[in-house]
């Protein structure tokens, strides 16, 4: 099976998420990275491209030029990964989408709600797919959880508790030279949300994805604990979901001892589920009135939804990169089906531009609610 | 050292918490149970009393009669444990307090805020002590946590996350004959709060006790998920604490798979702490920028605040009953000092009527906020 | 129900295990401690006795005198707890047993195999019961495990893995004034086994108790890692059990980071069980080909064998002292039945002198095998 | 940087470990798989090769032919991955080594000790490298553990406890059509060891690698619990290591509830370490007399030895495939240095043929000892 020709915008040397996307694209052997505008600095773009083994002729420092040229090349890229800061997602995506090049874009969708709406339009108008890398949705045991809820194992859902907790911004890292901290706490590049945008959107997306319920309204209390910080670094959010379910969402970047503690708990009138990103091969299932059960990836009790995204037997832990690679594999299946003029296989699923819009809507709602002293706002 | 003569009101056969109080009183050999009005049914009172080895002459079916007579007896009780449903706490306590008999009372303080205020007055006017059994405050590692915060190990506090989660009311147990479920979901006996009153007050009290910060205001979203239930069985609460700290409190009795999952996490600008009631001999301490440390009761890193309430070496788990007994031992120390006309030893501490009032205020605030669609209310 | 009158030999101020026995005796309200020879030093005996509230007339400094006199008193003790160093167990027990006073004795049974055999004889000849406090056998979830194995939930047993690991003798504590370390590493008072005697016997006893299988032979490699230590501080043991099952036992007092890590794992051809003393309210049950299940004390899946030794609902942890108290309660049931001339209730069980003999036989076998370079020896 | 041209022998459709090697080779973008003798069945070889996108001209069904031809090609493979059953490792490796093609071979080294010795000779004589994929040695936190021991953080080592426990052979899977179970329990293809060969060698290798100590002698008790099984499915092993350290090794394939529970604990006179393969991003460090510390991959306390083999920040779990890929990356560094006529960078390390020989020696010693009723044998 021929590999999909992939380009990348952003992700030059020193960037974290670009390297993750490249590993994810490589892991299952479905993509070849063949072009890139890895930096807007020509020199850095070139160095980064060469280090990745790109042909000199396909190293760009201008994403628009890249889009134009690759669209004309006989063996031009079929898809592009966008791993820039948030404010660039829309303009970059637009250039590729309008030329029929599929876009695999990092989250959140955009820095502003206006851009998000424009991007939805652009994606809807395009002859190309748009995939948003809410990577946590592609962990096997997250799929297992979703499938169990769909099967009714939890009964009617009542409660959704989700949190994503970090500690890396406990101090003012943005003032001491951290490039990551710099753009992620800069509203111009990151958007109005800090923790809400960077990790809250993941938590929000995961909660909706697994529960299958949309958040209808929320009440948020946002804080910037670190003096001088321009965006929130902690958020407490109450949620009301479809069908009467309620929930809480906590995201924080100032809770010492937490690395990437994304944790989801969902309860219905028949049972509960609990999953933690840092130990992703486990899923607790707690049917009411029965002993707790620990399901393991590819172990007893894990069904086809988990198995199709697993590579190794139970007890051989798969982690973050495998989950990320699953998004790329889902995308590959969809891209191949698209090329063949077919619908993607039924079990293929990935976060799209509409989920992306909901994420940006979540940030917006958090900021609006918090400004109104935590009043409820609809999403 | 002579044992303290103890009476009990409530706690007849079949009651859960009465038996717990009796074990707690017995465990360290500081009390003798010598009188009781264990039930308002004369027959049940008598049977229960005899089963506990009480003299027939000191078995009562009327708490007021008990208070009057014991106060006159030469070797009458010095203290009484009140383990009735909530609405009886105030009238019972009043009778004993006014006669100079110390009261050890289960939580929440009362069923109504009006009663709570009356009880504060009664306690302040009395020549006797009032001890409220917020037992979780007396776990050794809870004391360890409190002492570390006092010592500044966490720096300036920013976040308090607390939850108390159960599942025993997932279905309508109050309609199928559970005595516990019956009175605890009956506003007339339990008060306006369901989960908020029964377990939310514990979580609230623990958060304030360990952090040393008072909750200034809260915003609450209360639910009664089980059809027909007359009190809340789940509550989501945002909190604003003294000094700018923020927090969330979740209490639930409808989350399948949770038994008594009381969990507290506190974060400051220098570090964090995490404790879980179901595994109470452990305390996570996470100084920012250093490896996580697992402190164990009486193990390395646990200090005198934990050691003075421990009986066994580290690795020999002490649990709920020992924590409860610690309240009784703290009370005993205070009672003995009171008898000697002295102040209690400096390190003796226990929840008192004022903390009780705050707990009832918490329930009231939750109900008020929730009725106002989660608007912030001051405590 | 009248309390059983209890005496104690050993356990004066500063001793660890004496205090544990006293709490255990008190916890369920079945015993009154009324006499004691708490120390062989008259002054220490008196001080310790008074501190415990004993009548002066029933404070002894000579256990034999105590046995003689209490046997003649109208309200003399009905049972005695022996909590001396090991070498005194036999002579003390003999004096009480021969006078029809029940003996509750700490483990190991004796310091020597010869004494153990004499004590078996003494117990068999006596009109009194002998209870050995292998306290770990009375944890509710240990009983749950045993009952599941008896019910065939694991199928035919194949493997028994048990370990009891500590770190308190990592350095030469016996040379720096630790009283506990002093006698426990002194062969004259402790017997030929160090770690094997102090904790290995617990592990061995637990393995046999839960599995229901006797160890037929073993091969042991004993070490004294700390220079100058006169007994083993670490032991590696291979075991062959009845019916073809095999096992390993590790006991150590020199493994930093371990407090009282007693852990048992048993596997049959249908499933497995795993239990850890430091988290005693949990029991893993792993039926082959099904998800792992976490049973909790008094939670779903825990049966009557666990419930009858529980005091509180699931999620309210019971620990070491409650487990120890269970031994005392089992003993009380047996003592009351004995007094009534009846057999004890069917579900009452406790470690007796024969299990004690097996424990001393285990120590002896370990020492013999290790001297023969780990050759197999029968038990 | 140009990718290394890689071939593969074995690993056709349906094989587990071949797919793992391919992902591992791909993950960091250092290799291109360009040739393969994926099966000795021509048809299966062809189908498997095409599915992997190999050129038809470089799909072989005869490994010797492949070695001959690839060695002559201008762009022939530089390295070959051998993922056949064990008995083929030696003959296949020999063909490539003698032609200067580097070999990356799955473990155990060979099926017989004689073959192992021949392979050592072949590797020593070759102008090519031999890398054995004891993949567990390349987990970042395993490297962290090794580096801490080298730095003296544990003091003088006393104890090594290692176990590798599975359950997939609890029943006679080899009789019900499992291909994996078939060859792995067939002495002709697997060698004389069953569990000892398949997973015991991993445990043994890990223990020696991390501790830095060689096992000098061992005493083993091997079992075949499943009727009719021709190799051991469980082994209990006592070990004596250099410098007076002692250890135990348990490997089993018949312990229900265990997937790939490889667990290592090492203790010295100053501290301990504990690591578990199923949760590989954590490492417990327990300095004597201090609180336990939980080190995390790329978190605080993890040093350069772990960081250089990490791709993502702490809290983004890396797992089995990343660990396996680390072996491939270490191999790539060595291969590139070899091509440049240089020594590999100082911190590059991988299991080689000599460690492979020790592993086969371990199997042999286990079998010999067990036949002698567990007598000690030297390694």
Give the minimum alpha-carbon distance from D194 to chain A in angstroms, rounded to a whole number: 19
Q: Which residues of D touch A (CB under 8 A)?
A: 1-3, 16, 19-20, 22-23, 26-29, 51-53, 166, 168, 258-261, 277-281, 296, 299, 311-322
Helices (H) then strands (E): counts for chain D: 13, 14
Under DSSP, is residue C33 helix (H, G, I), strand (E, B) or coil? strand
Taking the C-alpha atoms of residue B371 and residue B373, their distance in angstroms, rounded to an integer, is 5
Contact A356, A119 (CB under 8 A): yes
Average pLDDT over residues D83-99: 97
**Would you call D316 and A315 a contact, using CB atoms and an 8 Å cutoff?**
no
Q: Which residues of B touch C (CB under 8 A)?
A: 1-3, 16, 19-20, 22-23, 26-29, 51-53, 166, 168, 258-261, 277-281, 296, 299, 311-322
Give the minimum alpha-carbon distance from A293 to chain C in angstroms, rounded to a whole number: 4
**Would you call B296 and D299 a contact, using CB atoms and an 8 Å cutoff?**
no
Which residues in D lie closer than 8 A to residue C248 (C-beta atoms)? 236, 248, 250
pLDDT-based confidence at residue D232 (cuts at 50, 70, 90): very high
**Would you call B300 and D293 a contact, using CB atoms and an 8 Å cutoff?**
no
pLDDT digits (tens, 9 = 90+) for D136-194: 999 999 999 999 999 999 999 999 999 999 999 999 999 998 888 999 999 999 999 99
Task: Decide which of D184 and D359 is more confident.
Answer: D359
pLDDT-based confidence at residue B1 (cuts at 50, 70, 90): confident
Give the minimum alpha-carbon distance from B319 to chain C in angstroms, rounded to a whole number: 5
Average pLDDT over residues D311-323: 97
Q: What pLDDT, on a 0 to 100 scale, did the predictor assign at position A15?
A: 76
Give the minimum alpha-carbon distance from A153 to chain C in angstroms, rounded to a whole number: 15
Q: What pLDDT, on a 0 to 100 scale, did the predictor assign at position C179?
A: 85
Residue-averaged pLDDT of chain D? 96
Give the minimum alpha-carbon distance from D140 to chain A in angstroms, rounded to a whole number: 14
The structure tokens listed for C38 are: 């708490």
pLDDT > 90? residue D1: no
Q: What pLDDT, on a 0 to 100 scale, did the predictor assign at position C124?
A: 97
Average pLDDT over residues C69-97: 97
> Among candidates C135, C244, C131, C285, which has minimal Cα distance to C199?
C135
Which residues in A lie closer than 8 A to residue D278 (C-beta atoms)? 281, 315, 317
Average pLDDT over residues A8-12: 95
pLDDT > 90? residue A180: no
Domain residues of chain D, as ranges? 4-128, 139-312+357-378
Percentage of residues of chain B with pLDDT beyond 70:
100
> Among candidates A334, A361, A278, A341, which has minimal Cα distance to A103?
A334
Taking the C-alpha atoms of residue D148 and residue A4, their distance in angstroms, rounded to an integer, is 44
Find which of A144, A291, A299 to mutate to test the C interface (most C CBs within 10 Å of its CB).
Answer: A291
Which residues in D lie closer than 8 A to residue A52 (C-beta atoms)? 29
Backbone angles phi, psi at B338, to 5 degrees: -60, -45
**Would you call D294 and B294 a contact, using CB atoms and an 8 Å cutoff?**
yes
**Would you call D27 and A27 a contact, using CB atoms and an 8 Å cutoff?**
yes
Give the minimum alpha-carbon distance from C234 to chain D in angstroms, rounded to a whole number: 9
Residue-averaged pLDDT of chain B? 96
DSSP string, D353-367: HHHHHHHHHHHHHHH
Q: What pLDDT, on a 0 to 100 scale, did the predictor assign at position C269?
A: 98
**Would you call A286 and B257 a contact, using CB atoms and an 8 Å cutoff?**
yes
Q: What pLDDT, on a 0 to 100 scale, did the predictor assign at position B16?
A: 84
Which residues in D lie closer than 8 A to residue C257 (C-beta atoms)? 267, 271-272, 274, 284, 286, 288, 292
Contact C134, C107 (CB under 8 A): yes
Taking the C-alpha atoms of residue A378 and residue A320, their distance in angstroms, rounded to an integer, is 32
**Would you call C284 and D167 a contact, using CB atoms and an 8 Å cutoff?**
no
Taking the C-alpha atoms of residue A39 and residue A42, their distance in angstroms, rounded to an integer, is 7
pLDDT > 80? residue A1: no
DSSP run (H or E) holding D344: none
Give the minimum alpha-carbon distance from B315 to chain C in angstroms, rounded to a whole number: 5
The structure tokens listed for A139 are: 């962990």
Burial class (CB in 10 A: 0-12, 13-18, 19+), A141: buried
Which string of b and e fits A236-268 if b means at least 16 CB within 10 Å?
A: bbbbbbeeebbbbbbbbbbbbbbbbbbbbbbbb
pLDDT > 80? residue B301: yes
Q: What pLDDT, on a 0 to 100 scale, did the predictor assign at position A179?
A: 85
Give the minimum alpha-carbon distance from D254 to chain C in angstroms, rounded to a whole number: 8
In CATH, C139-312+357-378 is 3.30.360.10: yes
Contact A321, A24 (CB under 8 A): yes
Touching A (3+ Cβ pairs <8 A), the chains are B, C, D
Q: What pLDDT, on a 0 to 100 scale, did the predictor assign at position D180?
A: 86
Burial class (CB in 10 A: 0-12, 13-18, 19+), D373: exposed
The beta-carbon neighbor of C259 closest among B279, B314, B322 is B314
**Would you call D289 and B299 a contact, using CB atoms and an 8 Å cutoff?**
no
**Would you call C288 and D248 a contact, using CB atoms and an 8 Å cutoff?**
no
pLDDT-based confidence at residue A364 (cuts at 50, 70, 90): very high
**Would you call A53 and D1 a contact, using CB atoms and an 8 Å cutoff?**
yes
pLDDT > 90? residue B55: yes
pLDDT-based confidence at residue C1 (cuts at 50, 70, 90): confident
**Would you call D1 and A313 a contact, using CB atoms and an 8 Å cutoff?**
no
Average pLDDT over residues A270-289: 98
The CA–CA distances, whole Å, from B175 to A25, A290, B85, B227 equal: 56, 21, 18, 11
Average pLDDT over residues B55-74: 97
Task: Say which DSSP state C3 is in.
Answer: P
Q: Which residues of D touch B (CB under 8 A)?
A: 285, 289-296, 299-301
Which residues in C lie closer than 8 A to residue D219 (C-beta atoms)? 219, 221, 238, 374
The structure tokens listed for D147 are: 């580096």
Task: Decide which of C13 and A133 is more confident.
Answer: A133
pLDDT-based confidence at residue D123 (cuts at 50, 70, 90): very high
Instruction: Pick the residue from chain D with its C-alpha nearest to C265.
Output: D255
Specify the CATH superfamily of domain C4-132: NAD(P)-binding Rossmann-like Domain (3.40.50.720)
Specify the CATH superfamily of domain A139-311+357-378: Dihydrodipicolinate Reductase; domain 2 (3.30.360.10)
Least trusted range by pLDDT, from A164-173, A210-219, D183-192: D183-192
**Would you call D260 and A316 a contact, using CB atoms and an 8 Å cutoff?**
yes
pLDDT-based confidence at residue B248 (cuts at 50, 70, 90): very high
Average pLDDT over residues A69-79: 97
pLDDT > 90? residue B120: yes
Q: What pLDDT, on a 0 to 100 scale, did the predictor assign at position B170?
A: 98
Which string of b and e fits B20-44 if b means at least 16 CB within 10 Å?
A: bbbbbbbbbbbbebbbbbbbbeeee
For the domain made up of D4-128, give the CATH fold: Rossmann fold (3.40.50)
pLDDT-based confidence at residue B180 (cuts at 50, 70, 90): confident
The beta-carbon neighbor of A293 closest among C289, C292, C296 is C292
The beta-carbon neighbor of B294 closest among D291, D296, D300 is D291
The structure tokens listed for B65 are: 């009669």
Find which of C167, C245, C253, C257 to mutate to test the D interface (most D CBs within 10 Å of its CB).
Answer: C257
Q: What pLDDT, on a 0 to 100 scale, did the predictor assign at position C52?
A: 93
Q: What pLDDT, on a 0 to 100 scale, did the predictor assign at position A14?
A: 76
Touching D (3+ Cβ pairs <8 A), the chains are A, B, C
> Among candidates C160, C197, C176, which has minimal Cα distance to C361?
C197
**Would you call A301 and C295 a contact, using CB atoms and an 8 Å cutoff?**
no
pLDDT-based confidence at residue C14 (cuts at 50, 70, 90): confident
pLDDT > 80? residue A121: yes
Q: What pLDDT, on a 0 to 100 scale, did the predictor assign at position D138?
A: 98
DSSP run (H or E) holding C292: strand C292-296
């Amino acid at each position: 099976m021929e590999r999909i020709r992939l380009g990348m915008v952003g992700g030059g040397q020193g960037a974290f998420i670009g390297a993750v996307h490249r590993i994810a694209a490589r892991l299952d052997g479905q993509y070849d990275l063949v072009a890139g505008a890895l930096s807007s600095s020509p020199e850095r773009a070139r160095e980064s491209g060469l280090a990745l083994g790109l042909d000199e002729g396909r190293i760009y420092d201008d994403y628009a030029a890249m889009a134009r040229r690759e669209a004309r090349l006989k063996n031009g890229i079929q898809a592009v990964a966008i791993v820039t800061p948030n404010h660039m997602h829309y303009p970059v995506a637009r250039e590729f989408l309008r030329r029929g090049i599929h876009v695999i874009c990092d989250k959140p969708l955009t820095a502003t709600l206006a851009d998000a709406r424009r991007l939805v339009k652009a994606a809807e108008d395009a002859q190309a797919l748009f995939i948003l890398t809410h990577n946590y949705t592609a962990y096997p045991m997250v799929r297992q959880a979703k499938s169990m809820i769909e099967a009714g194992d939890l009964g009617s859902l009542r409660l959704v508790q989700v949190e994503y907790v970090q500690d890396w911004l406990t101090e003012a890292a943005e003032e001491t030279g951290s490039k990551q901290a710099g753009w992620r706490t800069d509203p111009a590049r990151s958007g109005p949300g800090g923790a809400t945008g960077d990790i809250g959107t993941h938590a929000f997306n995961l909660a909706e994805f697994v529960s299958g319920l949309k958040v209808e309204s929320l009440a948020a209390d946002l804080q910037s604990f670190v003096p001088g910080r321009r965006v929130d670094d902690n958020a407490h959010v109450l949620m009301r979901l479809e069908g009467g379910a309620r929930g809480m969402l906590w995201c924080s970047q100032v809770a010492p001892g937490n690395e990437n503690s994304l944790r989801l708990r969902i309860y219905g009138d028949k049972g509960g589920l609990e999953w933690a990103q840092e130990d992703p091969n486990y899923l607790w299932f707690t049917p009411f009135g029965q002993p707790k059960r620990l399901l393991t990836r590819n172990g007893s009790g894990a069904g086809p939804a988990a198995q199709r995204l697993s590579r190794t037997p139970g007890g051989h832990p798969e982690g973050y990169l495998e989950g990320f690679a699953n998004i790329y594999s889902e995308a590959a299946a969809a891209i191949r089906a698209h090329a063949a003029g077919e619908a993607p296989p039924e079990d293929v699923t990935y976060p799209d531009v509409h989920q992306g819009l909901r994420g940006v809507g979540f940030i917006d709602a958090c900021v609006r609610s918090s400004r109104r002293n935590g009043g409820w706002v609809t999403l």
